[in-house]
Structure 1
């Protein structure tokens, strides 16, 4: 049975890359030695920061897309923990179960200028 890997690479400057492969060892060697060229070579993205394994290619593709969405939600690595600092007791049930709606997910269809406005408004 074939094994598939979904992985996230990072650079020292917080540039992220999400990928999928059937041979993680070979693929990491290619990224580290810049044998494939492209995005990871250009931005020196070669630190493996996350990986997961599956036996189904459809599941690997689905996970890769989900990880891309997570990365797109917070592309500037904003610290959302400030939302939770205003509550003194961690045992309270008043904690939100997910990030508040004032941090909307950023989709690629939103023009860059509009995205910047949204990010500025959520920071204030």
Structure 2
């Protein structure tokens, strides 16, 4: 059975990079060596692997990657640090039109 990993890298400029692979150690080494000059991480080395989650099902891995890929760096760092309380706070909608902020009409 193939194992898949969703991973988050923290770049030297504090930006984050999220992707999926079936070989986390090989892929991290490729990023660190800068084998692909067109890769987002190429000019942002050195890199730090701050998070990875293992999956046995490629569809679940893809779904999770899509979910977190567009998160803010703060949310990704909270996930990587296991700070689930902060993750929940950062996930809350703070938009004035959110139902939480509308007055209740009777």
Is TM > 0.5 for Structure 1 vs Structure 2? yes
Note the residue ranges of structure 2 that are not aligned, 5 or more in a row. 78-87, 97-106
Partner of 1:64: 65
Q: 2:94 aligns with which of 98, 102, 110?
A: 102
Shift of 1:102: 2.8
Alpha-carbon distance, 1:42 to partner: 2.1
Pair 23,101 (structure 1): closer, same or farther in 2 beyond 3 Å: closer
Q: Are positions 1:6 and 2:6 aligned together?
A: yes
Q: Which whole-Å CA distance do the structure 2 matches of 1:12 and 1:24 have between them? A: 19
Residues of 2 paired with 1:103 and 1:8: CA distance?
27
Aligned residue pairs total 83
Q: 2:56 is matched with which residue?
A: 55
Structure 2 distance, partners of 1:9, 1:46, is 6
TM-score by length of 2: 0.66
1:4 CA displacement: 0.2
Who is 1:43 aligned against?
Answer: 44
CA RMSD of aligned residues (A): 2.6
What TM-score do the two structures reach when normalised by structure 1? 0.57
> CA 1:13–1:22 in 2, change beyond 3 Å: closer, same or farther?
same
Q: Any unmatched runs of 5+ in structure 1? A: 78-96, 105-124
Cα contact 1:11–1:44 (8 A) shared by 2: yes
Higher RCO (Cα < 8 Å, 6 or more apart): 2
Distance of 1:7 and 1:52 partners within structure 2:
7
